[in-house]
Structure 1
């Protein structure tokens, strides 16, 4: 059964669209930068036999409001709390990837009672301690030819072998209906993220996942996060890039499911 979309409002009144599917212990799934809940299409189903999955459209994406105002990863975490409050959920498991992993860090740091177990995928602590993508990657993503930039993003997400066997849909390439001001605010929120000084305060049991061939967010960040978060463990998946959760879906989803239920 497909997820059902519902709506609530953030503390500042911005409308938030969220989607609920499955049954069992609540699991919040947080997407990457510039993306809506479709980031998780084809993956959330792996958890719905044991979890009630909850996604949301970040402000600026999907069916949520699109105010032309600065945002932050900590602010996105507060929006998640608004969704949990609307559903009457006291505590949930949280799985965040890319910018969603940055948001998930603040969710667990600022709202510790609301996060039971935490999975951080293809993400980083941000700030000066993070290992950043190299200049060639930044140039490829910033090139003015949109088709070339999209192809570069696709190749950062998936290996050539995977792309040769899978011709779509491409649900991790950004919300096509996102207005330019929202893209700017998302980029700033992701770039400004720096949770390094607070990661040692994180108390949720944590699993860190990463693709070994990820150039978008280099895999060294997995070890940085695991070394900084108390009792966290990292698992780097060989041969996979930024969208390891799609390309390595069976193994990645199994690792997450075992961690959440073990």
Structure 2
């Protein structure tokens, strides 16, 4: 995929901008790289242009562009100005939740609506922070290299520990329920993942004041998500009473696969197609 590096006032930002039609800004979640696609690239074929900006610490985007969600939201505005984009619809995935909220709260004239997909709106718990510091700090390159080797020769051994962190269901039962396409989705996701310095930075993010968000908001969450618990959806609704919460019938954090995947896709399009 062809990417662009923009030298902003705070450092280098990597982005891609493809398609034609109303612009949609995609902010990927934790561990996701330029090559990680959770189905959103297909928005191009639905008549949208897709602007994907790598967050600080991921790909070639430098940490100096925004160590806080608010600071990176300001940098995003520089990218929009560079591309002569007035307003965007924003999709924030998982750990990108705080950035999407900061963008909508601090720059309401540039955001048309905000879609939060299994997105974090509560602080990380201390246990998660401690575990992540061990796995995705200085050792993160070795961790991902080892996982990809395991994925190549013993895929189930690589996938099982991951899904155990993503579902409240029994991990073995969850694996057994996966279709071949769902299994391929997970393997592709793992094969393209890399934390860089991004995920450790994500863990330090505070949650912006959600009550300042005045644009339409849709949150899509699963009650069986272990990594981003459904309490995030409840807090979002209590902070923004007018937002819509869609409870996805998914068995894990991965709301983009499984029996309700088609509904997630249709719900996303319905929200983005609003006038």
Normalising TM by the smaller chain, what interval? 0.7 to 0.9
The CA deviation string for residues 129-168 of structure 1, in whole angstroms up to 9 with x for no partner, is xxx6695x77876776945897433443474222765235
**Structure 2: how far apart are the matches of 1:48 and 1:35?**
22
SS in 2 for 1:40: coil
Equivalent position to 1:90, from 86, 89, 92 = 86
CA-based RMSD of the aligned residues comes to 3.1
**Residues 138, 11 of structure 1: CA spacing in aligned structure 2 closer, same or farther, 3 A cutoff?**
closer
SS in 2 for 1:119: strand
**Residues 54, 231 of structure 1: CA spacing in aligned structure 2 closer, same or farther, 3 A cutoff?**
same
Which sections of structure 2, spanning at least 5 residues, go unmatched?
A: 136-141, 148-156, 168-173
TM-score by length of 1: 0.79
- Counterpart check, 1:52 vs 2:68: no
**Structure 1: how far apart are the matches of 2:159 and 2:7?**
32
Partner of 1:121: 117
**Structure 1: how far apart are the matches of 2:85 and 2:222?**
31
Alpha carbons 1:77, 1:107 under 8 Å: kept: yes
Alpha carbons 1:31, 1:98 under 8 Å: kept: yes
**Residues 249, 5 of structure 1: CA spacing in aligned structure 2 closer, same or farther, 3 A cutoff?**
farther
Shift of 1:86: 1.5
TM-score by length of 2: 0.76
**Residues 9, 139 of structure 1: CA spacing in aligned structure 2 closer, same or farther, 3 A cutoff?**
closer
Q: Radius of gyration: which is bigger? A: 2
Partner of 1:166: 183
Alpha carbons 1:133, 1:218 under 8 Å: kept: no
Equivalent position to 2:265, from 246, 250, 253 = 253
**Structure 2: how far apart are the matches of 1:15 and 1:70?**
11
Alpha carbons 2:66, 2:75 under 8 Å: kept: no
**Structure 2: how far apart are the matches of 1:253 and 1:157?**
20
Shift of 1:226: 1.9
Which sections of structure 1, spanning at least 5 residues, go unmatched?
A: none
Alpha carbons 1:47, 1:257 under 8 Å: kept: no
Shift of 1:97: 1.1
**Structure 1: how far apart are the matches of 2:121 and 2:5?**
30
Alpha carbons 2:18, 2:44 under 8 Å: kept: no
**Structure 2: how far apart are the matches of 1:21 and 1:33?**
22
Shift of 1:242: 1.3
Partner of 2:202: 186
Partner of 1:227: 238
Alpha carbons 1:59, 1:65 under 8 Å: kept: yes
**Structure 2: how far apart are the matches of 1:172 and 1:52?**
26
Shift of 1:8: 1.3
Deviates more, 1:54-63 or 1:150-159: 150-159
**Residues 109, 66 of structure 1: CA spacing in aligned structure 2 closer, same or farther, 3 A cutoff?**
closer
